[in-house]
A and B are shown apart, each in its own frame.
Chain A
Amino acid sequence: MPSLKEYRNRIASVKSTRKITSAMKMVAASKLKKAQDAAQASQPYASAMAAMLARVAEGLTSTAGGPKLLVGTGSDKIHLLVVVSSDRGLCGGFNGNLVRFARLRIEKLVAQGHEVKLVTVGRKAFDLLRRDHKEKIVASFKDIGKVGFANAAEVSDLVFSKFDENDFDVCSLIYNDFRSVLAQVPTSQQLIPFSLPEKQIAANQNNAQENAAPKIPYEFEPDEEKILEDILPRNISVQIFRAMLDSAAGEQAARMTAMENATRNAGDMIKRLTLQYNRARQAYITKELIEIISGAEAV
């Protein structure tokens, strides 16, 4: 049985752990607020971009012979996966789940006879995927800190230059989708070839019919194809940016939840240890008393 002093030390150490985890929880909560605000602030651009894409798509007569980003290279041999994770750990299963999802994806693609290349964003994705897919990683981005559009542009620039060099045929983004503070779901989204938002076009048409307003045709300057050629790469950058923002918000949310659990566990542990400590102390006192009494009786 551990001595009283050992118990006291254990309790003190768990208490200081609890202090750290609860501080981390509070820091994560305030960072989460900021990350969510940043994600919100990027919304107007993304929705304006989507609306514009839908308009251009509507005006487009045929997608045949369109820009390469839209129609693809005509093959699907080489897949490029952009895996967006966090830079730091201690955020529960956030990175673990994402990397597991990415691994399954890789295995499936390899089993189907495709070649897979990886771009990792965030230190954790690189560290975890390096173990068994080292040769597949073509580039990695680390220490991003606060996510800005410049970071996303860097990633998308790399993707475009690889695409121009015919380094891959299909590009997908793997990231943690921020559903709520409690749920971040690993998600995969195809970037290249890009699929135009057909649903939205249908919705626009429905709206137009319902309003029964005469529809004024749009003019395009220079023309639909040129605009599409220009808008598609930017849209991809925006998608990557959104994924990075989502991932940043999700990381803080996951850390907050993980640290809250850790704080609660530490509290439970302190309670249990205090109980054991008191019992041990009681037993020690009783033992001493018995010794004194039996000593007195013997006299």
Chain B
Amino acid sequence: MTSETNLIQFDLVSPEKKLISEAVTMVVIPGEEGDFGVLSGHAPVVSTVRTGVVKVYPMSLKDTPIKIFIAGGFADVTAHQCTILAEQAMVVSEMNEAALDQDIQSLKDDLSAAESADDKRKLQKRLDLALAQKAAIAA
């Protein structure tokens, strides 16, 4: 398990660019039907991914994982490769909690001031996303 030869190629791509592409030991993905860990030699799976945190263990399982926040997407796993398609992704340790709090507050204000149902829906979506990000930092 801890041997460094058993690595799996992990790619995280967003529509705008390839965010991460490297060989890692394990990836824990928040799947639609529960979190699952992916090691080298995993059975091929295609799964939808919830909004949440992907944990990447670069070298060994004892390392502290790199946490990456993902706003939903898809995972495509084969024995040697794990690809996650995400529309939005950011490393949790690089997120700014103070700025996020401010965002949440202003979104809440906007939401209560919003008139049309369409605006409300859009703002609610953004607020949910911001709250999920905050939860990711807290976790």
Do A and B come from the same complex? yes
B16 contacts A by Cβ under 8 Å: yes
- Counting CB contacts under 8 A, is A118 at the interface? no
A74 close to chain B: CB less than 8 A: no
Interface contact B15-A238, CB-CB below 8 Å: yes
Q: Are B16 and A38 in contact (CB under 8 A)?
A: yes
Asked whether any CB of chain B lies closer than 8 Å to the CB of A99, the reply is: no
B45 touches A227 (CB 8 A): no
Partner of B46, one of A161, A218, A238, A241: A218
Indicate whether B62 reaches chain A with its CB closer than 8 angstroms: no
By the criterion CB–CB under 8 Å, are A241 and B45 in contact?
no
Instruction: Check A217–B76 contact: CB distance below 8 A.
Output: no
B14: chain A residues at CB < 8 Å are 45, 149
Give every chain A residue within 8 A of B85 (Cβ-Cβ): 45, 48-49, 52, 234
The majority secondary structure among interface residues of chain A is helix
Contact in complex: A219, B83 (CB < 8 Å): no
Q: Which residue of the partner chain A has the closest CB to B88?
A: A149
Taking CB atoms and an 8 Å cut-off, the chain A residues in 248-295 that contact chain B are none
Given the known inter-chain contacts A44-B13, A48-B13, A222-B48, please indicate yes or no for A234 contacting B87, CB distance below 8 A: yes
Given contacts A45-B85, A222-B32, A227-B74, contact A52 B46 (CB under 8 A): yes
Shortest distance from the beta carbon of A47 to any chain B beta carbon, whole Å: 9
The answer to whether A41 and B18 have CB atoms under 8 Å apart is: yes
A-B contact count (CB 8 A): 81
Given A45-B13, A55-B76, A230-B74, does the pair A221, B18 have CB atoms closer than 8 Å? no
The docked-state distance in angstroms from the alpha carbon of A268 to that of B74 is 57
Residue contact A44 to B18, C-beta cutoff 8 Å: yes
Q: Mark A85-112, 1 if CB is under 8 A from B, else 0.
A: 0000000000000000000000000000
Complex partner residue of A221 from B16, B33, B79, B83, CB under 8 angstroms: B33
Q: In the complex, how many angstroms separate the beta carbon of A55 from the nearest chain B beta carbon?
A: 6
Q: Which residues of A contact B47 (CB under 8 A)?
A: 220-222, 227
Q: Is A231 an interface residue (CB 8 A)?
A: yes
A237-248 CB mask vs B (1 if < 8 Å, else 0) is 110010000000
> Can you list 12 A-B pairs with a CB-CB distance of less than 8 A?
A42-B15, A44-B11, A44-B18, A48-B11, A52-B76, A219-B43, A220-B45, A221-B45, A221-B48, A222-B32, A238-B15, A241-B15
**6 shortest interchain CB distances as A-B pairs:** A221-B47, A41-B17, A149-B15, A45-B13, A218-B44, A219-B45
Beyond the given pairs A41-B18, A52-B76, A221-B48, 9 more chain A to chain B contacts, judged by CB atoms under 8 angstroms and listed by A's residue number, are: A44-B11, A52-B46, A149-B15, A220-B45, A221-B31, A222-B32, A226-B48, A227-B48, A238-B15
